[in-house]
């Protein structure tokens, strides 16, 4: 089982709470608006890190960071982009998928600074759509947050969005209680 940490919209600030929240991850995804190459170096010290450019990022990351990322982590296919519209797969595909590409199991975006976790018909044809919110400038009354996905052998075992100050904001499977 691998634990994948997802964050977005650091805007040049990686709070110690965010760094600590991702310390147990086997891989990390940054969904854009990084705003400092040093943040990718910090995350890379924790785990292999995949990142995309946001609307406030420029070419300072070199070829390693582009508009889209398509990592496969423990057999699970991800599509990562900063903008929600770039991962929304419709009848004619999406900006991040070419004809004939395998459908991603998890579509990840940033930009909104608002946590989002969708599955089932709302996420189709992907299994999940995830926005981790923001670790620096949350919006919509939400706290600073990150997402975590448990993946194993091509399957997603669990997804949750965690507040940096503690507690789970959204999760699948939903817990009863």
**Residue of higher predicted confidence among 65 and 63:** 65
- Across the chain, mean pLDDT equals 94
33 in Cβ contact with 54 (< 8 Å): yes
* Cα 50 to Cα 120: distance, rounded to the nearest angstrom: 25
Q: Give 60's pLDDT tier (boundaries 50, 70, 90).
A: confident
pLDDT in tens, 113-157: 999 999 999 999 999 999 999 999 999 999 999 999 999 999 999
Maximum CA extent, the chain = 47
How many domains does the chain contain in total? Answer: 1
Provide the pLDDT for residue 97.
83
Tell me if 122 is assigned to some domain: yes
Percentage of the chain lying above the pLDDT 70 cut? 97
List the CATH number of the domain containing 84.
3.60.21.10
Q: Which residues of 154-171 are buried (b: 16+ CB within 10 A; e: fewer)?
A: eebeebbbbbbeeeebbe
Range 58-78 average pLDDT? 93
Tell me if 97 is assigned to some domain: yes
pLDDT in tens, 121-133: 999 999 999 999 9
Provide the pLDDT for residue 144.
97
Provide the pLDDT for residue 172.
96
Tell me if 177 is assigned to some domain: no
49-51/27-30 β-pairing: parallel
Residue 26: alpha-carbon gap to chain centroid? 14
Tokens of 19: 């760094």
Q: Whole domain around residue 110: which residue ranges?
A: 2-172
Query: H-type helices in 22-101, by residue range?
Result: 37-46
Provide the pLDDT for residue 95.
83
Residue 162: alpha-carbon gap to chain centroid? 13
Provide the pLDDT for residue 94.
80
In degrees and rounded to multiples of 5, residue 37 shows phi and psi of -60, -25
Provide the pLDDT for residue 90.
74
Provide the pLDDT for residue 175.
66
pTM reported for the whole predicted model? 0.95
Percentage of the chain lying above the pLDDT 90 cut? 84
pLDDT in tens, 158-175: 999 999 999 999 999 976
């Amino acid at each position: 089982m691998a634990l994948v940490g997802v964050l977005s919209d650091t805007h040049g600030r990686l709070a110690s709470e965010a760094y600590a929240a991702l310390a147990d991850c086997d891989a990390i995804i940054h969904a854009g608006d990084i705003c400092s190459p040093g943040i990718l170096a910090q995350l890379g010290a924790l785990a292999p890190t995949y990142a995309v450019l946001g609307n406030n990022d420029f070419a300072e990351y070199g070829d390693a960071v582009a508009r889209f990322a398509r990592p496969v982590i423990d057999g699970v296919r991800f599509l990562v982009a900063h903008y929600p519209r770039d991962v929304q797969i419709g009848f004619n595909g999406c900006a991040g998928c070419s004809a004939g590409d395998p459908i991603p199991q998890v579509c990840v975006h940033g930009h909104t600074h608002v946590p989002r976790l969708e599955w089932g018909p709302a996420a189709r044809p992907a299994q999940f759509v995830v926005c981790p919110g923001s670790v620096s400038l949350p919006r919509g009354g939400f706290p600073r947050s990150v997402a975590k996905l448990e993946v194993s052998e091509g399957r997603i075992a669990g997804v949750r969005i965690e507040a940096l100050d503690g507690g789970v904001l959204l999760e699948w499977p939903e817990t009863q209680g």
